[in-house]
Structure formats: structure tokens, C-alpha cells
Chain A
Amino acid sequence: MNVLIIEDEKALAQELEIFLTNYNYICEVCYDGASASEKIATNLYDFILIDLGLPDYDGLDLLKELKKSGSDAACIILTARTEIDDRIKGLDLGADDYLPKPFSLLELQSRMQAIIRRKFGVKNNIMDLDGFLIDLTNRTISYGTSAVNTITKKEFDLIAYLILHKNRTLTRMQLSEHIWGSVVNNDYDSNYIDAHIKNIRKKLNAFAPPDWLETVRGLGYKIKINA
């Protein structure tokens, strides 16, 4: 997948590039609006990540140009500007998602995956983990012929996030940011992730021990999938 990163903060643009390249995206980076405008006009992309606060360009104008050119690239707006009207304007102009800074790279990847599922209609989205069939599209889990329906929404969110970033250790911080991201919270503790994981293990254990859900001592959790 081709990604165009339009971000004037070079350090951030580089990190985005490193991260997405790791996830097998092909990245191009622009640090200003003018060159981005040129690239949009000449190349085809699957994803465009736009920072709204560019020094020479209004990010929303770039979005308009993109839509005018007839590109069907998915757009994600990255911005430190969180004014409500920007959000509405961005989504009206056809941005597919909106990620306020500071965001986690893992969250970006998760949003991109969601867009891919939506836009390209990924059908075969069922993971088989030692007999547990996890359907990421319909958000269900089953073991053999029986459905595991004790799993709550939050617990499924955690499992799906760990699967999306499979074989990678996710810290409690990253996990809690994903499942409690919309709450502006007074505290920064993430101990409740442990309670969630404990519950998940207990519920799955009724069918079979979920050894694929690993605790990484002192760091966090990961789901191991041998591809």
C-alpha cells in the first residue's frame, strides 16, 4: 500500500515513515504543502496522512484538491488543532478519519486497518488461534462449534488490538490508550488492563487455555501468531 505522509515536523514524519515501513507500507514524505500538492496531482496513493497545520498551505485546501483530482485515496487528518469546526469540515470534505495529536502510532495503524476493511471489503478476516476463531469483522469469538459470548466489548477491543499488532509487545499504556482513548481522564494509571486480561483468560479457559495470549514480564502483553 502506498502512503503519502504530509507533515512539516520532520522528526514526526520520519517516525511515521519508519513505523509504517515496518508494517510493509510504501511511504513517501512531504514536509510542505506545495510539494504535497504536486505529488497528489501526479501519483496515486492508497493512504494520505495530512497534517492540517502546514506552514505554506492550509491542509483542508489540500484535501479539496485531492477530491477534485478524483483520487480515491483514504485520508486521515493528523492535527494538533482540535477545534470542533475543523473536525466537521475535515469529515465533510471526505477525510476518512481524524487523529488528534498526540496520537499513538499503533492507533494510527489500527485506524488504517479499519479503513482498509471498510473500503476494500476484506472478507477473510477470521483469525485461528489454537482453535479459537476470532472474527474481526463481525466481532465474534468461537471455539469449535460453540460461540464464546461472554467476552465484553472492551475485552474484544483488547484482543483485536493485540491481534492487529501481533507478535509485538503492547504496553499497558498503549492498550489503555486504545480502549479508553476517548475519555479525558484524570489519572494515568493503566492497572485495569491486567484485570481485563485476567477476565479474558478466565473466560477463554472454559474452552481451552489461551496460551497465545502472553504476558511479557514488566512490559505488557502480546498475542503470538506464527504466520
Chain B
Amino acid sequence: MKLGTKLTLFNTISKLVIVVLFVLLVPVLIKNISSNYVDSKLIKQKNKLLQIVKSQGIETYIVNGEAYGSYLPLKDEYISLDEVDPKYFLDTIQRGKRLFSEGDTLEYRILSHTFKVKNKNYLLEIGKSVDTLDETSIPLQNIAFEVLLGMILLTVLADQIYSTYVLKPLRIIIKTKLVGQKFPNFQSYRKVRTTTSDFEHLDLSIHKMVETIADKFHKEREFISNASHELMTPISILQSKIENMFEEEDVNDELKVRLLEMQKILNRLKSITKTLLLISQIENEQFLKEDKVSVSELLQDVYDEISIRLQDKNIDYEMNVPDNWYMVNINKFLLFNLFFNLINNAIKYNREGGSISITAVAVHDKFVISITDTGIGIDAEALPFIFNRFKKFRQSLQQDSFGLGLPIVKSIAGFHDIEIDVSSEKDVGSTFKLILPAMLIVVD
């Protein structure tokens, strides 16, 4: 999930939680506030009544010992005054139900107060209906919820806009410097404009890291290229000397065999050097990609080169490639070497009398060429490393490779944006799939 999305999501959820909590609290709050308000009003009324009793005498309300009662037409307020037992004492404000002569039972907030006038004890009750109170809390809750929801939407929108703005440099850094860049081949590095120091720091750090890595890569390539170039001349001299010695008249056969051994070792050195040089040349992009080649013809060329090896091991070779497929924007020399090495491996690691099959199919807009052998297979744990230089996992019968065949294949494939997919089962065989992008194949 993107950082911006996460921030927005968090903002929205946290605000919603707070609002819901608040809205749930509203009834309690309202009840509290309104009961306080009602209580103070009741006390005021009580005081006023006591005042009247004090100044005008209890007779204003109670005549001949008859209880006094009064209520509003809808009975949402009432007052009652009555004589009670002299020992009775009450001074409370409580909720309670009252029954009216008409048979209605209503709930009230009731102030009960006893007071004494002329040695007689009186109980005063002032009630206020609570229904009216409860009724107000629900609409209030609704209003609060709607208003707050609106506010949340506004703030979330504002957050979204601001975070988009403030995270823009990060987005640019990710888009232009990390995603889709073919590491480590970065093009010219453009500074990202930002006022956020963290992003500035990030941008600069990435820049520096990439520069360091690119520099190291460059140096490694340069070293391999220079080293292999420099080795060519001494190898050349040695080879010439050995070749001339073969023709010396006083060299006997025993010496010749030893010269041959030297030649073999020199040849090995030469192969390694040449291969390293080739890889470094591919990595330095010193090859052109302008050739157009028929896939089946190229594979036929490879077959012509390699048929003696198939024959030597009695391996069945089956090729199923459409004649109208042409590879374009490729380097023929390199592609030849790619197929040669793959097929050569398929022979080398095959069993006597095994088989190799080459098929080509179009999958969506890509083209897949598969080379399947019935060889010794590759261990699952070795599979991720088979393209590493100088790694030898598979032991062929002849100890004659030095672990650069697949690195060549990988370099050439990478140079042409060809993907390689390897699957293998021990003692059953391996399949190397070359996945060619649409731009490399033309079907005529």
C-alpha cells in the first residue's frame, strides 16, 4: 500500500472512531446537562414558592387542611403541597412516576421538600416531565452526527490534498529513480525539487548510492575488459611459440605430447579469457543489434555445428520451430552463441541415447523458445546460482567446462531483453525457456 493511501486511511478511521464515540456519548451528556438545568429550575421554583408562603402565609395554598395541587394542561409540570406527619423529612430531587386522576402515569423529575409552618409539617413536590427531555436527545444526536461527519469529510479531503502535495517529491523519487530503472544503468540524475529536508536527504542518498554502485560496476567491467585484453598478447606469444616448437626437427614424440599438454592448458586459459572478454563486451554494449535472422535457420546453423556431438552421444534431436519466425533487432553472432551454449549443455549433461527437443510457441504477445533435455537435471538448491560465473554444480562425465557457458547465455539474453526461465528435475531433465519480447520477433 502506498504511503499516501495509508495516511489517508489512518486519518479517516481515527476521526470516524472519535466521532462515533462522541455521538454515543451525546445522550449521556445531554441527560446530564438537561437534568442539571431542570434541577436548578426546580430549586428556583421551590424557593419562589417558599417565598410566597413566607410572605403570604400557607393559606394561599392550603385552606382547611386540603392538599393543593396544580398542573399544566398537558401535565408536563405539576405542583403539589400537602400536610404530612411532623416527623417526616424529605429534601431530594429524583425521578419518579406519578399517577393522575385521569389514569395517566407520567414520569417526572420530582423535587420533594418538607418544611414547617406554624408547627405543621408540609411536603412540597414540584415535578417536571422527563419525556420532553428524552425526546430532545435523539434529534440532537442526529444533528451532531451529521455535522461532525461533514466536518470529517472536509478534514479528510484537506488531509488528502495536503499529503498528496507534501508527498509529491517522494512519489517522483520512486517513479523516476526506483521503479522501471534498469539497475544499475541509470540515466542522467535529476535533482528532485522539494522543501522537505527528509526527501532531499533521501534523494541525495539514493543518488550517491547509485553513483557508487555504478562506479563499482564500471570499474569491474573495465578491469575485466582490460585484464582480458592484456592477457591476449602473452597468450598469443605462448601459443605461437608452442606451435613453432612442434615443427622443430629435434623435438621427439615424447616432447611433442608434453607440448600438446601445454597447448591444452593454454587453450583453457584462452577460452576463459575470450569468454570473459565477450561478457564484458556485451555488458559494455559493444555489439550492434541490427540483424534479422530466421529462427529455424539460426537453429539449423547451430545444429550443423553441433550435430557431431549429438551423434557422438547418440542423442535424439527434435526441432519444432515455425519457418516464418524471424528474429529482428538482434545480434546474430551473439544469438548463435546463446543457442549453441544452451544446446551444447543439453548434450553435455544428457545421458547416452537421450533426447533434446526444441519448441517455439507464441504466448500472448511474447514468443517462447524452449529447449528440453533428458539429462541429469539440476538440484533445486543449485538452480538459483547456475548463472553465476565460475560456479559449477552439474558434473558432466568429462571434466571439461569452467562454468562460463550459462553466464554467457545470461549476458546475451539480458542484452536482448530476453527472459530465461529454468525448470529442472533431478535425473529427469531440464527445460530452458527463452521468453522473447514482441519487438524481437516478426512473423512473416
CB-based contact A185/B235 at 8 Å = no
Q: A173-B263, A180-B305, A188-B271 are in contact. Are A102 and B337 (CB under 8 A)?
A: no
CB-based contact A102/B304 at 8 Å = no
The interface residues of chain B, by DSSP majority, are classed as helix
Interface segment out of the listed A10-18, A110-118, A135-143, A205-213: A10-18
Q: Contact check: which of B244, B312, B405 meets A18 at CB < 8 Å?
A: B244
Residues of B within 8 A of A173 (CB): 260, 263-264, 267
B333: min CB distance to chain A, Å? 8
A204: min CB distance to chain B, Å? 17
Tell me the complex Cα distance, A11–B234, Å: 9
Residues of A within 8 A of B403 (CB): 186
Say yes or no for A1: interface residue by CB 8 A criterion. no
Q: Contact check: which of A105, A177, A183, A220 meets B305 at CB < 8 Å?
A: A183
Say yes or no for A89: interface residue by CB 8 A criterion. no
B251: min CB distance to chain A, Å? 11
Say yes or no for B348: interface residue by CB 8 A criterion. yes
CB 8 Å contact bits of A159-189 with B (1 = contact, 0 = none): 0000000001101011001001011111111
Q: Contact check: which of A12, A19, A219 meets B233 at CB < 8 Å?
A: A12
Residues of B within 8 A of A189 (CB): 398, 400
CB-based contact B408/A186 at 8 Å = yes
CB-based contact B340/A183 at 8 Å = yes
CB-based contact B402/A186 at 8 Å = yes
B41: min CB distance to chain A, Å? 101
Docked complex: A21-75 residues within 8 A CB-CB of B: 22
Say yes or no for B270: interface residue by CB 8 A criterion. yes
Tell me the complex Cα distance, A184–B337, Å: 7
Q: Contact check: which of B236, B243, B260, B344 meets A80 at CB < 8 Å?
A: B236
Docked complex: B331-376 residues within 8 A CB-CB of A: 333, 336-337, 340-341, 344-345, 348
Interface segment out of the listed B13-21, B189-197, B272-280: B272-280
CB-based contact A186/B344 at 8 Å = yes
Say yes or no for B247: interface residue by CB 8 A criterion. yes
Say yes or no for B78: interface residue by CB 8 A criterion. no
A192: min CB distance to chain B, Å? 5
CB-based contact A105/B244 at 8 Å = yes
Residues of A within 8 A of B406 (CB): 186
CB-based contact A187/B263 at 8 Å = no
Tell me the complex Cα distance, A180–B308, Å: 12
Say yes or no for A119: interface residue by CB 8 A criterion. no
Chain A residue with the shortest CB-CB distance to B331 = A84
Chain A residue with the shortest CB-CB distance to B398 = A189
CB 8 Å contact bits of B242-283 with A (1 = contact, 0 = none): 011011000001001100100110011011001101100100
Docked complex: B262-317 residues within 8 A CB-CB of A: 263-264, 267-268, 270-271, 274-275, 277-278, 281, 286-288, 304-305, 308-309, 311-312
Tell me the complex Cα distance, A82–B282, Å: 12
Chain B residue with the shortest CB-CB distance to A155 = B308
Tell me the complex Cα distance, A195–B270, Å: 24
Tell me the complex Cα distance, A180–B246, Å: 22
Q: A184-B408, A186-B408 are in contact. Are A19 and B244 (CB under 8 A)?
A: yes
Residues of B within 8 A of A18 (CB): 244
Q: A80-B233, A81-B229, A101-B236 are in contact. Are A185 and B344 (CB under 8 A)?
A: yes
Residues of B within 8 A of A105 (CB): 239-240, 243-244
Tell me the complex Cα distance, A188–B272, Å: 9
B243: min CB distance to chain A, Å? 5
Residues of A within 8 A of B236 (CB): 9, 12, 80, 101-103
A18: min CB distance to chain B, Å? 5
Interface centre among A177, A182, A185, A186 (most CB of B within 10 A): A186
CB-based contact A16/B240 at 8 Å = yes
Say yes or no for B404: interface residue by CB 8 A criterion. yes
Say yes or no for B232: interface residue by CB 8 A criterion. yes
Residues of A within 8 A of B341 (CB): 185-186
Residues of A within 8 A of B232 (CB): 80, 100-102
Tell me the complex Cα distance, A28–B390, Å: 43
Q: Contact check: which of A16, A188, A195 meets B311 at CB < 8 Å?
A: A195
Q: Contact check: which of A80, A104, A192, A196 meets B239 at CB < 8 Å?
A: A104
Q: Contact check: which of A12, A101, A184, A187 meets B401 at CB < 8 Å?
A: A187
CB-based contact A80/B229 at 8 Å = yes
Say yes or no for B237: interface residue by CB 8 A criterion. yes
Interface centre among B263, B275, B345 (most CB of A within 10 A): B263
Chain B residue with the shortest CB-CB distance to A106 = B243
Tell me the complex Cα distance, A218–B257, Å: 7
Chain A residue with the shortest CB-CB distance to B246 = A169
B99: min CB distance to chain A, Å? 107
Tell me the complex Cα distance, A16–B240, Å: 7
CB-based contact B237/A82 at 8 Å = no
CB-based contact A218/B260 at 8 Å = yes
Chain B residue with the shortest CB-CB distance to A169 = B246
B231: min CB distance to chain A, Å? 9
Residues of A within 8 A of B344 (CB): 185-187
Q: Contact check: which of B230, B244, B275, B308 meets A184 at CB < 8 Å?
A: B275
Chain B residue with the shortest CB-CB distance to A196 = B308
Say yes or no for A83: interface residue by CB 8 A criterion. yes
Q: Which 5 A-B pairs have the closest CB atoms?
A: A186-B405, A15-B240, A102-B236, A80-B232, A189-B400
Given contacts A9-B233, A12-B236, A188-B271, list 9 more A-B pairs with CB under 8 A: A12-B237, A84-B288, A102-B235, A105-B239, A105-B243, A173-B263, A184-B274, A196-B308, A219-B253
30 A-B contacts (beta carbon < 8 Å): A9-B236, A15-B240, A15-B243, A82-B281, A83-B281, A84-B287, A101-B233, A104-B239, A104-B243, A105-B244, A106-B243, A153-B304, A168-B246, A173-B263, A173-B264, A182-B333, A183-B305, A184-B274, A184-B337, A184-B408, A186-B341, A186-B406, A187-B344, A187-B401, A188-B267, A189-B398, A191-B398, A196-B308, A219-B253, A220-B260
